[in-house]
């Protein structure tokens, strides 16, 4: 995250500069959050589908309405 050229010895930085990410970093962080959320919801959906198929195969399906 921190490179030697930008934050190496003898290079003065301000705390505000380190605490305020630029738009590109913010966008990447939001996209990673979105990707992780979509992946987790997808995995839960697949797990629920597999459980439902298993339950139907052993005769535990809900009654027809």
8 A C-beta contact, residue 46 and residue 54: no
Closest CA to 46 of 34, 54, 57, 58: 54
For residue 51, what pLDDT is reported?
Answer: 92
Whether 13 maps to a domain, the answer reads no
For residue 60, what pLDDT is reported?
Answer: 85
Whether 44 maps to a domain, the answer reads yes
Which domain does 31 fall in, by range?
Answer: 24-58
Whether 15 maps to a domain, the answer reads no
Whether 42 maps to a domain, the answer reads yes
Predicted model pTM: 0.57
Whether 35 maps to a domain, the answer reads yes
Whether 39 maps to a domain, the answer reads yes
Whether 10 maps to a domain, the answer reads no
User: Chain-centre distance of CA 48, in angstroms?
Assistant: 20
Give the model confidence (pLDDT) of 3-55 as tens digits.
555 656 666 555 555 566 788 899 999 999 999 999 999 999 999 999 999 99
Whether 3 maps to a domain, the answer reads no
The domain tally of the chain equals 1
DSSP of 7-50, one letter per residue? HSTT----HHHHHS--HHHHHHHHHHHHHHHHHHHHHHHHHHHH
């Amino acid at each position: 995250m921190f490179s030697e050229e930008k934050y190496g010895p003898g290079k003065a930085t301000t705390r505000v500069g380190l605490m305020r990410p630029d738009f590109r970093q913010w966008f990447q962080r939001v996209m990673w959050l979105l990707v992780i959320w979509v992946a987790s919801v997808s995995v839960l959906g697949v797990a629920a589908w597999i459980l439902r198929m298993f339950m139907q195969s052993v005769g535990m399906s809900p009654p027809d309405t």
